[in-house]
Structure 1
């Protein structure tokens, strides 16, 4: 179920580094070197498989951008928010 506008702003406000962008939530993660970014993407992949929900991933040298939305629902759901929290935890462990 899609989050309401109020829920969306409240939930995203609690997500460190995440922003609303055209029907999705997006975060840019910066790393000290390329391989740390790749290790993070490996963690993102494992988390995504566990959730059976996969983000759009952009890798640009030491920068990884994740974009989450629930296509089947046509926007952002609680699943996207829960997964974003998991990605943030993985980032803290990886960097």
Structure 2
């Protein structure tokens, strides 16, 4: 398994620029990103979470998230590097694609 590395300043700026264009926000006081997904109903939200869970498990990179009815709040950060890594950017991008 490859050990993730914290994004460089240039990589972070590029990633944040791209991710914020898709609704991601920087978590205040932490090197992390967050986004709220709202689906049509609980079934759609939970189905999305299930698909993301399988991807996250394959990546060995797991989100911090919570679900209330049709809303899923997600926070991504790589604990091994105490900040954002390419894993966070990749998982955020996959989440957005699955959410349509």
Cα deviation digits, residues 24-66 of structure 1 (max 9, x gap): 1111101111110000110110110110100011101111011
Of residues 11, 19, 22 in structure 2, which corresponds to 1:7? 11
In structure 2, what is the equivalent of residue 48 of structure 1?
56
Q: Does 1:20 align with 2:26?
A: yes
- Indicate the larger mover: 32-41 or 5-14: 5-14
* Structure 1 ranges of 4+ moved more than 3 A: none
What count of residue pairs does the alignment treat as equivalent? 92
1:84-95 superposed matches below 5 A = 84-92=92-100
In 2, Cα distance between the equivalents of 1:61 and 1:6? 38
Of residues 26, 39, 47 in structure 1, which corresponds to 2:47? 39
Structure 2 gaps of 5+ residues are none
In structure 1, what is the equivalent of residue 77 of structure 2?
69
In 2, Cα distance between the equivalents of 1:8 and 1:80? 11
Cα deviation digits, residues 65-87 of structure 1 (max 9, x gap): 11111101010011110111011
In 1, Cα distance between the equivalents of 2:96 and 2:51? 11
Task: Name the SS of the counterpart of 1:67 in structure 2.
Answer: strand
Deviation of the 1:3 alpha carbon: 1.3
TM-score calculated relative to the size of structure 2: 0.85
In 2, Cα distance between the equivalents of 1:30 and 1:67? 15
